[in-house]
Structure 1
């Protein structure tokens, strides 16, 4: 994900990293070639065979803009819901850590450290599950050897860690360290973490209908391919300029919607899950105020997080 401060209007015109323009260049080059071809055919071929005019493109363009608006709204809603779910994870994790840290001193400090480290491991396990990557390397330094061995054979690792949280609390209740009221209060936060897992899995496993995306994609590219032949009669030498401007607007909107449709991916406009996990662990470390609670190594930068001036 690209994270950068707001730029002034002039610098924003020339931003490259984080823009979808690099991936659109080959397609825009095709539109440019078609524009030159349309100009050549219009000026040098007798009985010019293609004379579409602008009215059909005005009508189709308005309809296409409406469809793209719905497409982008649906994709952004998915992106924003993913961000809200991870915000809920942050809130719940901090509340859970506060409850554990405020327990009586009779609770073994080592047990507290294991629980806090496992909260960070839970976030990393969920991140890897949503991206389909291997979580074991990141979890090795955050979970106890017994829990890591248990998680290593599981397909849905966040659920196993969540189950361990419940087992840990049940054991503390049997030991008499916490009472039933505290167990109920903490269990509410565990249920909230379960809701976060379910919400994220719903987003990750239920993309927008494929036929809907294909229909918009085909319409955009057919529109952009034919556009130079409709503009050339009125725009003349400026046909490439206007064709490229319109094509860039439509193609860029479609490309951005395709990127943020899956908010948990590795593209530049997806959520910065690595940075979120690292921030959560920093918060847990500060809350513990325990010199013996060593921070695990930061997550790798595979999420392509860029922080730019």
Structure 2
């Protein structure tokens, strides 16, 4: 995730970052500019349309549809940001749950071997969940001193959660923890799985295709019809105006596409790798 100072206006205005939509839209903006210039030339120089031409009334359509497209883009952006924020909430819950789990184990466990196991296995869940959500391949052994054989054809976070619960159950059978402590620790393991399921729901449930495709087609057709009506008002100045309008509308759609999947590697995605590293640091401090 990009780190920035929200109060530094000049850096936003004059700096084009890797995540800026201008770079991505530049080729099609050039096409829109050439297209607008062609339409302007044909209407002004070649067709020589009169001022009372019906083509001039096309701008009435844009006035009516402008409100509709603003509602669609506002809903699209809000929906995408809700997904991004929910993903951040889930990883915040993972941080708190890992701390609570480690805190309880630090008080309950007295055997250093058991403490060392959980010191490694709790951060392992966060690290593996991060890679699982990014669809990255992981090694069969995450830590040198903890033997975790992971089957990549199965659900990897669930395998780690099963290892954790198996260890807790073994502690209970060996009378190292009581039945009440088993129930308390079991609730923490359940929370791990709940967080994983919520993240997978965000990851695997994108915006419906028909809705996303309609917005893109709507924006493109809306922009392509702009030069016809506004040439009468702006002349050749319609070229930069139409390009700028396309940049604004298409940028909103691109931003929504990027943040609706917050677990990727884009500049605006969640720093899940950094969060998992913080979990490792906090757990090692507690246990």
TM normalised by structure 2 equals 0.92
Residue 34 of structure 1 corresponds to which residue in structure 2? 35
Alpha-carbon distance between aligned partners in 2 of 1:46 and 1:172, rounded to the nearest angstrom: 87
> CA offsets per residue over residues 174-206 of structure 1, 9 Å max, x none?
111111111111111111111101111111111
Q: Which runs of 4+ in 1 moved over 3 A?
A: 47-53
Alpha-carbon distance between aligned partners in 1 of 2:109 and 2:86, rounded to the nearest angstrom: 37
Displacement of 1:92? 0.4
Residue 173 of structure 1 corresponds to which residue in structure 2? 172
Equivalences for residues 1-309 of structure 1 within 5 A: 1-17=1-17, 18-48=19-49, 51=56, 53-105=58-110, 107=111, 109-136=112-139, 140-141=142-143, 144-145=146-147, 148-149=148-149, 151-288=150-287
SS at match of 2:15: coil
**Cα–Cα, structure 1 residues 136 and 60, in superposed 2: closer, same or farther, change >3 Å?**
same
SS at match of 1:102: helix
Alpha-carbon distance between aligned partners in 2 of 1:124 and 1:153, rounded to the nearest angstrom: 15
Contact 1:52–1:229 (8 Å) recurs in 2: no
Displacement of 1:8? 2.2
SS at match of 1:270: coil
Alpha-carbon distance between aligned partners in 2 of 1:142 and 1:208, rounded to the nearest angstrom: 41
Alpha-carbon distance between aligned partners in 1 of 2:109 and 2:93, rounded to the nearest angstrom: 27
Structure 2: tracts of 5 or more residues without a match: none
Displacement of 1:253? 0.3
Displacement of 1:52? 5.3
Residue 296 of structure 1 corresponds to which residue in structure 2? none
Alpha-carbon distance between aligned partners in 1 of 2:270 and 2:228, rounded to the nearest angstrom: 40
Alpha-carbon distance between aligned partners in 1 of 2:171 and 2:153, rounded to the nearest angstrom: 25
SS at match of 1:136: coil
SS at match of 1:54: helix
Contact 2:93–2:195 (8 Å) recurs in 1: yes
Displacement of 1:259? 0.8
Structure 1: tracts of 5 or more residues without a match: 289-309
Segment of structure 1 superposing worse, 29-38 or 170-179? 29-38
Alpha-carbon distance between aligned partners in 2 of 1:46 and 1:20, rounded to the nearest angstrom: 36
Alpha-carbon distance between aligned partners in 2 of 1:104 and 1:96, rounded to the nearest angstrom: 12
Displacement of 1:104? 4.2
**Cα–Cα, structure 1 residues 142 and 269, in superposed 2: closer, same or farther, change >3 Å?**
farther
Displacement of 1:36? 1.6
Alpha-carbon distance between aligned partners in 1 of 2:160 and 2:168, rounded to the nearest angstrom: 12
Alpha-carbon distance between aligned partners in 2 of 1:78 and 1:3, rounded to the nearest angstrom: 20
Displacement of 1:23? 0.6
Alpha-carbon distance between aligned partners in 2 of 1:31 and 1:286, rounded to the nearest angstrom: 57
Alpha-carbon distance between aligned partners in 2 of 1:235 and 1:181, rounded to the nearest angstrom: 77
- How many residues are matched? 282
Alpha-carbon distance between aligned partners in 1 of 2:78 and 2:30, rounded to the nearest angstrom: 28
TM normalised by structure 1 equals 0.86
